[in-house]
Structure 1
Amino acid sequence: MARPRLSPDAPEAPGLPARRAALRLLDAVLRRGLPLEAALAGATGDLERREDRGLAHAIAAAVLRRLPDLDALIDGATQRPLPDDAKARFVLRIALAQALVLGTPPHAAIATALPLVDGGPRKLVHGVFGTLMRGNARLPDAATLPADTDARWSAAWGEEMVIAAALAIAQQPLLDLSLRGDAGPDGVALAERHRRLRDAGPIATLPGYDAGEWWVQDLAASIPARLLGNGPGHAIDLCAAPGGKTLQLAAAGWTVTALDSSESRLARLSENLARTQLSADVITGDALVWKPAAPADAVLLDAPCSATGIFRRHPDVLHRVRPSIIAETVALQTRLLNRAAEWVKPGGRLVYATCSLELAEGEAQLDRFLAARSDYAIEPATAAELPDGVAAHDRGYVRTLPGMLADAGGLDGFFIVRLRRS
């Protein structure tokens, strides 16, 4: 890497508004505990160009992916550690993430970072960044996970899984598409009605977008609906937004009722239903209050959870999720699962899923449910129903972990079980 020519008194550079927005995003996540996506609109509201909003998001996500490693570099180049919430540390994270993760030329990274210090220790930020660049600073191939996440996952899954997760979060995940039928862009098919793309570019420019031939959905996230198979019959998709599973069920011939409490997220589902020319009865409601007029042939509950399984796409979860949050989601899942179980016809199926890597939100939740409900039993997933390289557990449920399909681009972490009501 060429040595940057830096000046602490450089004039304000183009692109600075996007960096300011990235700083606001990081503050929202790391100091206020907000999800990155939830903070995006407020933090980037003054940016007119979509490209600038995308850049702010990319910078913040890069920092969150490599936060412990970036902090280790910063601490190794300062005589006294900067406070975790010091603006100088936040600005150095932004500058280093651009230079070491996103490939921004170092002179551009620091020129757009120094003004963010706002009259603070500009010389310190300039000096630390320059020292690291002159020393050819590099990030390790495998990211360092937050210490509490590392400890929790090591205890639950072992060191091999943690190593796989550290490799996974250091890479941008590939794009998975679920297909309405057989047509779709060129890519790797790891299951029926699936494509995986590298270097896909803007979503709306891909072949078949306007014709509604597909929608974006991680391969692991497609498994719950796959386990309900094809219709006909009435299927209820609870906590349905943003709607990938609703689209799958509708494409498979089910008459679908999609319920969610978020009007804005359901609006996105309705847009995708129109684009794909699929149909579903979309209802805004709370699953703890709403109930169907009659039991259904199938109920799919992709329950609210800690979302630690989607850390590859949403690295902020690893910096926000605490044991108290996990306990809260477990309690909510228990209530939702008990209600959903009452809405299945005798002989019908209930699929419970979470995009979580926490045992409490998966295996332990299942054991508690089965102990209380003698009218339900696991209906094991079969190899023919699952993507290539994914196998059911000996008990019949499906658990996807970091490291699965690593050579093909990996998978999000999910727990999925199909239950049959007697």
Structure 2
Amino acid sequence: MARPKLASDPVGLAPRRAALRLLDAVLRRGIAIEAEMDRACKGLAPADRGLAHAIAAETLRWLPDLDALIDSATRNRLADDAKARFALRMALAQALRLGTPGHAAIATVLPLVEGGPRRLVHGVFGTLMRGDAALADMPHLPDLFALRWEQSHGTAMVDAARAAIAQPPPIDLTVIEGRDAPHGVSLMPGHVRLPAGASVPALEGFAEGGWWVQDIAASIPARLLGAGGRRCVLDLCAAPGGKTLQLAAAGWRVTSVDSSNSRLARLSENLARTGLSAQIVEADLREWAPDAVADAVLLDAPCSATGIFRRHPDVLHRVRPAIIAETAALQAQMLARAAEWVRPGGTLVYAVCSLEPEEGERRIAAFLAERDDYAIAAVAAEELPAGIVPLADGTVRTGPNMLQDDGAMDGFYIARLRRGEG
């Protein structure tokens, strides 16, 4: 979408061009920001790479509101994929959210637009800035998810999601017992929460491997399996490995399975840094099977990932109902296979980082209707962070409406199931 870099490009244009590529990947091609970062930011210094990500992410956090401002200042509505709209979104996000002076915000995006649209962008931006354009305290969600979540979880969840997406979330660490970790707020044993924006490799204890970054919600599924006592556990869809590290640190003998070679490489790096061990298998769960049943299985199933919108605001602009239906069907297939790999009397934990009932509550209800050899092993409140209460059936639903005074948490659905002895 953006032209190649030229030697005459003004200072500051390169990260804006990269941000434009990121936004184009998300909004026109449905590609996640993280999947596009290396290509879009090729050749950029770390600081410029970070700036490109910040501009793109902030634009996506406030996209409906930025578009409303743009539409208020144009006689004829710009097409959603018009380069002029993209440039205005970026300039406004910088000026209104990132503290960039207005003259710099517009000067560094105008070269991304050519011909008449450049004059349009300059004129609309100037009109808005002279009119003291401002954004509300909380962004609006895309209509699709505002409606879905109000129907599924109520208005309070939608309001909490708006508050949560307004700014980057804090950084959660899972800490190995007895190891050093940075000072911060602890919301449960083995957890530390730090303010957003910290440079992770520079934090105390990173090189020593006593902790890893993991949202507190994402740490719950492995916690529900307890101490391993050298028993065998399968961590399915394991990469990049936070749950594998938890299980290994808790004394389980872990076999970690994932289909992504690059993500498994990150898992191997994390194991090396922390000094923990696990057997790593690169395989598609639809084709692979273990040699023997395990004492426990943790299936962190592929999903729409709408629950991690605080960290990845692009998800709300990429995911559509068809994707949710596709992932729900894949989860059913994987859950059916994983259920066969648990020994009688063993435990199966199912988890998704999704706020969609089709991937959570309804998925487990359908599974239990088909499998009379499984039942919910209810989670107790004391197994969860203070203030988090299990659902009435003993499963767990987390979301941005929880721990709000401490920075909220990601959206997960988690079910702990026990296989009958018979």
TM-score range, shorter chain: over 0.9
Residue pair 2:348, 2:416 contacting (<8 A) in 1 also: yes
Task: Give the distance between the partners of 2:306 and 2:44, measured in 1 at CA.
Answer: 32
1-structure distance, mates of 2:318, 2:44: 29
Deviations 1:7-33 (A, max 9, x none): xxxx95311011001111111110111
Q: Equivalent of 1:148, from 144, 147, 156? A: 144
What is the SS of the residue equivalent to 1:121?
A: helix
SS of 1:265's equivalent in the other structure is helix
**Displacement of 1:48 after TM fit?**
3.1
Aligned to 2:5: none
How many residues align structurally? 411
CA displacement 1:195-220 (0-9 Å, x = unmatched): 00014521100000000010000000
Alignment of 1:208-227 (within 5 A): 208-227=205-224
Separation of aligned partners in 1, 2:54 and 2:366: 40
Question: Which shows bigger deviation, 393-402 or 131-140?
Answer: 131-140
Correspondence for 2:4: none
User: Contact (CA 8 Å) 1:12, 1:111: kept in 2 or not?
Assistant: no
- CA deviation profile, 1:39-68 (whole Å, cap 9, x unmatched): 1111112x3311111111111111111000
Query: Would the aligned equivalents of 1:401 and 1:412 in 2 still touch at CA under 8 Å?
Result: yes
Distance (whole Å) between structure 2 residues aligned to residue 285 and residue 265 of structure 1: 12
- 5 Å matches for 1:112-131? 112-131=108-127
Runs of 4+ off more than 6 Å: none
Moved more, 112-121 or 70-79: 112-121
What's the RMSD between the two structures over aligned residues? 1.1
For residues 131-163 of structure 1, what are the alpha-carbon distances to aligned partners after superposition, in whole Å with 9 as ceiling and x for unaligned?
A: 211222111111111111111111111111111
CA contact (8 A) 1:378 1:396 kept: yes
- Is residue 65 from structure 1 mapped to residue 61 from structure 2 by the alignment? yes
User: What secondary structure, in the 3-state scheme, does the structure 2 residue paired with 1:51 have?
Assistant: helix
Q: Where do 1:340-419 residues align within 5 Å? A: 340-419=338-417
Percent identity among equivalent residues? 64
Spell out, residue by residue over 1:308-347, the C-alpha distance to the aligned partner (whole angstroms, 9 max, x if none).
Answer: 0001111111111111101100010000000000000111
Pair 1:395–1:408, CA change in 2 (3 A): same
* Corresponding letter in the other structure for 2:191: H
Counterpart for residue 108 of structure 1: 104
2:169–2:196: 8 Å Cα contact kept in structure 1?
Answer: no
Q: Letter of the 2:133 partner, please give it.
A: A
1:188 aligns with 2:182: no
1:74 is matched with 70
Determine the C-alpha separation between the residues in 2 that align with 1:199 and 1:148. Answer: 28
Q: Residues 212 and 380 of structure 1: is their aligned pair in 2 closer, same or farther, counting only changes over 3 Å?
A: same
Give the aligned partner of residue 236 of structure 2: 238
**Shift of the alpha carbon at 1:250?**
0.4
**Structure 2 CA distance, aligned partners of 1:314 and 1:101?**
17
Corresponding letter in the other structure for 2:122: H
8 Å contact from structure 1 (residues 21, 44) kept in 2: yes
Alignment TM-score, normalising by the size of structure 1: 0.96
Counterpart in the other structure of 2:195: 198
**2:320 is aligned with what amino acid?**
R
* Pair 1:160-2:168 in alignment: no
Q: Which runs of 5+ in 1 are unaligned?
A: 1-10
Q: Is the 8 A contact 2:15 2:44 kept in 1?
A: no
Amino acid at match of 1:70: L
Deviation for aligned residue 1:119: 3.1
Distance in 1, Cα, partners of 2:249 & 2:193: 19
Residue 297 of structure 2 corresponds to which residue in structure 1? 299
In 2: Cα distance, 1:142 partner to 1:102 partner: 15
Q: Please tell me whether the aligned partners of residues 168 and 196 of structure 2 are also in contact (alpha carbons under 8 angstroms).
A: no
Find the aligned partners of 2:28 and 2:132 in 1 and give their Cα distance.
Answer: 30
Contact 1:257/1:283 (<8 A) preserved? yes
CA contact under 8 A between 1:12 and 1:112: conserved in structure 2? Answer: no
Distance 2:31 2:322 in 1: 15
Q: Which residue of 2 aligns with 1:33?
A: 30
**Which digits, 9 at most, give the CA deviation of each residue in 1:68-112, with x for residues without a partner?**
000001111112211111110000001011111111111111110
Amino acid at match of 2:173: L
Deviation sequence 1:163-195 (CA, Å, 0-9, x none)? 111111112100000012243110001011100
Match of 1:24 among 21, 25, 29: 21
Per the alignment, residue 129 of structure 2 pairs with 133
The residue number in structure 2 matching 1:275 is: 273
For 1:228, give the aligned amino acid.
L
Distance 2:182 2:39 in 1: 34
Q: Is 1:87 matched with 2:117?
A: no
From 46, 50, 61, the equivalent of 1:50 is 46
Distance (whole Å) between structure 2 residues aligned to residue 159 and residue 386 of structure 1: 24
Distance 2:288 2:116 in 1: 53
Aligned AA (2:44):
E
CA distance, structure 2, for counterparts of residue 48 and residue 16 of structure 1: 11
